[in-house]
Amino acid sequence: MIRCPSMLQQVSLFHKWNDFKGYCAFKMDSNSNLPVENLVNSHPVDLPCQDYDALCPVFEYLSSLESGMKSFHLPSGAEVKVTHDNIGKLRLFGEDEPPQYLLALHLPGDETQVVAIYLHHKWWPISDVLKTSSKSRNGLIFVESVMERVILFLLSQIVFGMLERSQEEHIYFSTHPVSEYGKIFWQDGEAVGFYTVKKKGSLCNGCTCQSYLLPVLDTVFVRRHWRRNGLAMQMLQDFCKSAHREGAGY
Protein backbone atom coordinates (compact mmCIF):
# COMPACT_ATOMS: atom_id res chain seq x y z
CA MET A 1 0.00 0.00 0.00
CA ILE A 2 1.03 3.61 -0.54
CA ARG A 3 0.37 6.18 2.11
CA CYS A 4 -1.84 8.97 0.80
CA PRO A 5 -3.43 12.18 2.18
CA SER A 6 -5.84 12.22 5.08
CA MET A 7 -9.58 11.74 4.48
CA LEU A 8 -10.11 15.51 4.55
CA GLN A 9 -7.65 15.85 1.70
CA GLN A 10 -9.00 12.74 0.02
CA VAL A 11 -12.56 14.02 -0.32
CA SER A 12 -11.28 17.39 -1.56
CA LEU A 13 -10.67 15.55 -4.83
CA PHE A 14 -14.37 16.22 -5.46
CA HIS A 15 -14.87 19.31 -7.59
CA LYS A 16 -18.10 21.19 -8.08
CA TRP A 17 -19.96 22.82 -10.98
CA ASN A 18 -17.73 25.87 -11.49
CA ASP A 19 -14.74 23.60 -12.08
CA PHE A 20 -16.37 22.15 -15.20
CA LYS A 21 -16.68 25.36 -17.19
CA GLY A 22 -14.23 25.26 -20.04
CA TYR A 23 -13.61 21.57 -19.33
CA CYS A 24 -11.93 19.60 -22.10
CA ALA A 25 -10.73 15.99 -21.88
CA PHE A 26 -8.47 13.78 -23.94
CA LYS A 27 -9.76 10.63 -25.62
CA MET A 28 -8.08 7.39 -24.64
CA ASP A 29 -9.22 4.47 -26.79
CA SER A 30 -9.63 1.08 -25.19
CA ASN A 31 -11.70 -2.02 -25.82
CA SER A 32 -12.74 -5.19 -24.08
CA ASN A 33 -12.72 -8.35 -26.17
CA LEU A 34 -15.00 -10.22 -23.79
CA PRO A 35 -18.40 -11.21 -25.24
CA VAL A 36 -21.66 -9.73 -23.99
CA GLU A 37 -24.34 -12.37 -23.51
CA ASN A 38 -27.29 -10.09 -22.84
CA LEU A 39 -27.15 -6.34 -23.48
CA VAL A 40 -30.61 -5.74 -21.98
CA ASN A 41 -29.53 -6.91 -18.51
CA SER A 42 -25.92 -5.82 -18.82
CA HIS A 43 -23.89 -3.79 -16.39
CA PRO A 44 -21.57 -0.90 -17.37
CA VAL A 45 -18.51 -3.12 -17.84
CA ASP A 46 -20.43 -5.25 -20.37
CA LEU A 47 -21.48 -2.34 -22.59
CA PRO A 48 -19.29 -1.22 -25.51
CA CYS A 49 -17.30 1.96 -24.85
CA GLN A 50 -14.43 3.45 -26.83
CA ASP A 51 -13.29 6.37 -24.68
CA TYR A 52 -13.79 8.11 -21.35
CA ASP A 53 -15.70 11.09 -22.76
CA ALA A 54 -18.37 8.80 -24.26
CA LEU A 55 -18.59 6.86 -20.99
CA CYS A 56 -19.16 9.93 -18.84
CA PRO A 57 -20.15 13.13 -20.73
CA VAL A 58 -19.44 15.44 -17.81
CA PHE A 59 -20.35 18.90 -19.11
CA GLU A 60 -23.39 17.68 -21.06
CA TYR A 61 -25.00 16.12 -18.01
CA LEU A 62 -24.26 18.98 -15.61
CA SER A 63 -25.74 21.45 -18.08
CA SER A 64 -28.94 19.38 -18.21
CA LEU A 65 -29.43 19.79 -14.45
CA GLU A 66 -30.29 23.44 -14.97
CA SER A 67 -33.48 22.46 -16.83
CA GLY A 68 -35.15 20.80 -13.85
CA MET A 69 -34.92 18.76 -10.66
CA LYS A 70 -33.75 15.15 -10.94
CA SER A 71 -33.61 12.33 -8.41
CA PHE A 72 -32.08 8.87 -8.01
CA HIS A 73 -33.52 5.88 -6.17
CA LEU A 74 -31.10 3.78 -4.15
CA PRO A 75 -31.42 -0.04 -4.11
CA SER A 76 -32.91 0.37 -0.62
CA GLY A 77 -35.73 2.46 -2.09
CA ALA A 78 -34.54 5.76 -0.60
CA GLU A 79 -34.62 8.76 -2.92
CA VAL A 80 -31.64 11.10 -3.34
CA LYS A 81 -32.06 14.49 -5.01
CA VAL A 82 -29.56 15.05 -7.81
CA THR A 83 -28.24 18.62 -7.65
CA HIS A 84 -25.00 20.43 -8.34
CA ASP A 85 -24.36 20.41 -4.59
CA ASN A 86 -24.16 16.64 -4.23
CA ILE A 87 -22.41 15.76 -7.48
CA GLY A 88 -18.63 15.57 -7.39
CA LYS A 89 -15.99 15.11 -10.03
CA LEU A 90 -13.52 12.29 -9.42
CA ARG A 91 -10.20 12.33 -11.25
CA LEU A 92 -9.37 8.83 -12.50
CA PHE A 93 -5.61 9.25 -12.82
CA GLY A 94 -2.79 11.34 -11.35
CA GLU A 95 -1.96 14.98 -11.96
CA ASP A 96 0.71 14.07 -14.52
CA GLU A 97 -1.72 12.14 -16.74
CA PRO A 98 -4.59 13.17 -19.05
CA PRO A 99 -7.52 14.60 -17.02
CA GLN A 100 -10.25 11.95 -17.17
CA TYR A 101 -13.17 12.33 -14.76
CA LEU A 102 -16.19 10.52 -13.35
CA LEU A 103 -19.33 12.08 -11.93
CA ALA A 104 -20.15 10.73 -8.48
CA LEU A 105 -23.39 11.23 -6.56
CA HIS A 106 -22.98 11.45 -2.80
CA LEU A 107 -25.41 11.92 0.06
CA PRO A 108 -26.19 15.59 0.74
CA GLY A 109 -23.59 17.08 3.07
CA ASP A 110 -21.38 13.96 3.19
CA GLU A 111 -18.88 13.51 0.35
CA THR A 112 -17.59 10.26 1.86
CA GLN A 113 -20.90 8.49 1.17
CA VAL A 114 -20.75 7.95 -2.59
CA VAL A 115 -23.91 6.14 -3.71
CA ALA A 116 -23.84 6.22 -7.51
CA ILE A 117 -21.67 6.84 -10.57
CA TYR A 118 -22.85 8.41 -13.85
CA LEU A 119 -22.03 6.09 -16.77
CA HIS A 120 -23.62 5.48 -20.18
CA HIS A 121 -26.05 8.40 -19.67
CA LYS A 122 -27.56 7.16 -16.39
CA TRP A 123 -26.80 6.84 -12.69
CA TRP A 124 -25.71 3.41 -11.45
CA PRO A 125 -25.46 2.26 -7.82
CA ILE A 126 -21.87 1.43 -6.87
CA SER A 127 -22.85 -2.21 -6.34
CA ASP A 128 -24.17 -2.50 -9.91
CA VAL A 129 -21.07 -0.91 -11.45
CA LEU A 130 -18.99 -3.66 -9.84
CA LYS A 131 -21.07 -6.44 -11.44
CA THR A 132 -20.98 -8.19 -14.83
CA SER A 133 -23.45 -10.21 -16.89
CA SER A 134 -20.67 -11.90 -18.85
CA LYS A 135 -19.96 -15.49 -17.82
CA SER A 136 -16.58 -15.17 -19.54
CA ARG A 137 -15.51 -12.60 -16.98
CA ASN A 138 -14.44 -14.93 -14.18
CA GLY A 139 -11.26 -15.24 -12.15
CA LEU A 140 -8.31 -12.90 -12.69
CA ILE A 141 -8.77 -10.71 -15.78
CA PHE A 142 -6.32 -8.14 -17.15
CA VAL A 143 -7.41 -4.51 -16.79
CA GLU A 144 -7.66 -3.41 -20.43
CA SER A 145 -10.93 -1.66 -21.27
CA VAL A 146 -12.09 1.80 -20.27
CA MET A 147 -14.68 0.40 -17.85
CA GLU A 148 -12.19 -2.02 -16.30
CA ARG A 149 -10.00 1.01 -15.51
CA VAL A 150 -13.03 2.66 -13.92
CA ILE A 151 -13.74 -0.44 -11.80
CA LEU A 152 -10.11 -0.59 -10.67
CA PHE A 153 -10.46 3.06 -9.60
CA LEU A 154 -13.72 2.42 -7.75
CA LEU A 155 -12.32 -0.58 -5.90
CA SER A 156 -9.22 1.29 -4.74
CA GLN A 157 -10.54 4.81 -4.16
CA ILE A 158 -14.23 4.38 -3.27
CA VAL A 159 -14.77 0.84 -1.95
CA PHE A 160 -11.50 0.68 0.01
CA GLY A 161 -10.81 4.40 0.35
CA MET A 162 -14.25 5.44 1.63
CA LEU A 163 -16.79 2.64 2.09
CA GLU A 164 -14.86 -0.27 3.66
CA ARG A 165 -11.82 1.33 5.22
CA SER A 166 -11.86 1.51 9.00
CA GLN A 167 -12.03 5.04 10.41
CA GLU A 168 -8.89 4.24 12.41
CA GLU A 169 -7.03 3.22 9.24
CA HIS A 170 -4.82 5.95 7.78
CA ILE A 171 -3.48 4.06 4.77
CA TYR A 172 -4.82 4.72 1.28
CA PHE A 173 -4.09 3.57 -2.24
CA SER A 174 -2.74 6.18 -4.62
CA THR A 175 -4.61 6.38 -7.92
CA HIS A 176 -3.18 3.88 -10.38
CA PRO A 177 -1.48 5.29 -13.52
CA VAL A 178 -3.24 4.51 -16.80
CA SER A 179 -0.20 2.53 -17.96
CA GLU A 180 0.00 0.40 -14.81
CA TYR A 181 -0.45 -3.36 -15.14
CA GLY A 182 -3.32 -4.77 -13.13
CA LYS A 183 -5.83 -7.59 -12.82
CA ILE A 184 -9.34 -7.63 -11.36
CA PHE A 185 -10.60 -10.73 -9.57
CA TRP A 186 -14.12 -11.59 -10.77
CA GLN A 187 -16.20 -14.09 -8.83
CA ASP A 188 -19.90 -14.95 -9.18
CA GLY A 189 -20.49 -11.95 -11.43
CA GLU A 190 -18.80 -9.35 -9.22
CA ALA A 191 -15.46 -7.57 -9.04
CA VAL A 192 -14.24 -8.75 -5.63
CA GLY A 193 -10.60 -7.64 -5.61
CA PHE A 194 -7.57 -6.63 -7.63
CA TYR A 195 -3.81 -6.42 -7.70
CA THR A 196 -1.50 -4.04 -9.55
CA VAL A 197 2.14 -4.24 -10.59
CA LYS A 198 4.79 -1.60 -11.21
CA LYS A 199 6.38 -2.56 -14.51
CA LYS A 200 10.10 -3.10 -14.87
CA GLY A 201 11.63 0.14 -16.12
CA SER A 202 8.81 2.42 -14.91
CA LEU A 203 9.80 5.41 -12.77
CA CYS A 204 9.64 4.96 -9.01
CA ASN A 205 7.97 8.36 -8.62
CA GLY A 206 7.80 11.78 -10.24
CA CYS A 207 10.60 13.20 -8.10
CA THR A 208 13.43 10.92 -9.20
CA CYS A 209 14.90 9.42 -12.34
CA GLN A 210 15.24 6.03 -10.66
CA SER A 211 13.21 3.18 -12.13
CA TYR A 212 12.12 -0.28 -11.00
CA LEU A 213 14.68 -2.96 -11.88
CA LEU A 214 12.08 -5.75 -11.53
CA PRO A 215 8.29 -6.06 -11.73
CA VAL A 216 7.05 -5.04 -8.27
CA LEU A 217 3.78 -6.10 -6.65
CA ASP A 218 2.30 -2.72 -5.73
CA THR A 219 -1.22 -3.10 -4.34
CA VAL A 220 -3.53 -6.00 -3.41
CA PHE A 221 -7.12 -5.66 -2.21
CA VAL A 222 -10.04 -8.02 -1.50
CA ARG A 223 -13.49 -6.68 -0.64
CA ARG A 224 -14.60 -7.33 2.93
CA HIS A 225 -17.33 -9.88 2.14
CA TRP A 226 -14.93 -12.08 0.13
CA ARG A 227 -12.00 -12.14 2.56
CA ARG A 228 -10.63 -15.26 4.28
CA ASN A 229 -11.30 -17.36 1.18
CA GLY A 230 -7.75 -17.47 -0.18
CA LEU A 231 -8.29 -14.87 -2.92
CA ALA A 232 -5.29 -12.75 -1.90
CA MET A 233 -3.12 -15.87 -1.98
CA GLN A 234 -4.39 -16.68 -5.48
CA MET A 235 -3.45 -13.18 -6.63
CA LEU A 236 0.02 -13.48 -5.08
CA GLN A 237 0.52 -16.83 -6.82
CA ASP A 238 -0.67 -15.37 -10.13
CA PHE A 239 1.80 -12.51 -9.81
CA CYS A 240 4.68 -14.86 -8.98
CA LYS A 241 3.82 -17.09 -11.92
CA SER A 242 3.68 -14.19 -14.40
CA ALA A 243 6.84 -12.51 -13.09
CA HIS A 244 9.11 -15.50 -12.44
CA ARG A 245 11.08 -15.10 -15.66
CA GLU A 246 12.29 -11.61 -14.72
CA GLY A 247 12.27 -12.11 -10.96
CA ALA A 248 9.88 -10.17 -8.81
CA GLY A 249 9.88 -7.56 -6.06
CA TYR A 250 7.50 -7.34 -3.12
Map out the domains of the chain with their CATH numbers: 51-130 (no CATH), 132-244 (3.40.630)
Q: Looking at the whole model, is its pTM more than 0.85? A: no
Half-sphere exposure of 232 (CA within 13 A, CB side): 10
Q: Are 111 and 88 in contact (CB under 8 A)?
A: yes
Mean pLDDT, contiguous 10-residue spans, the chain (250 residues): 37 44 36 46 84 78 79 89 89 82 90 90 94 95 94 94 79 83 96 93 77 88 96 95 66
For position 67, what pLDDT does the model report? 73
**Distances in whole angstroms, Cα of residue 149 to Cα of each of 99, 143, 169:** 14, 6, 25
Would you state the pLDDT for residue 248? 55
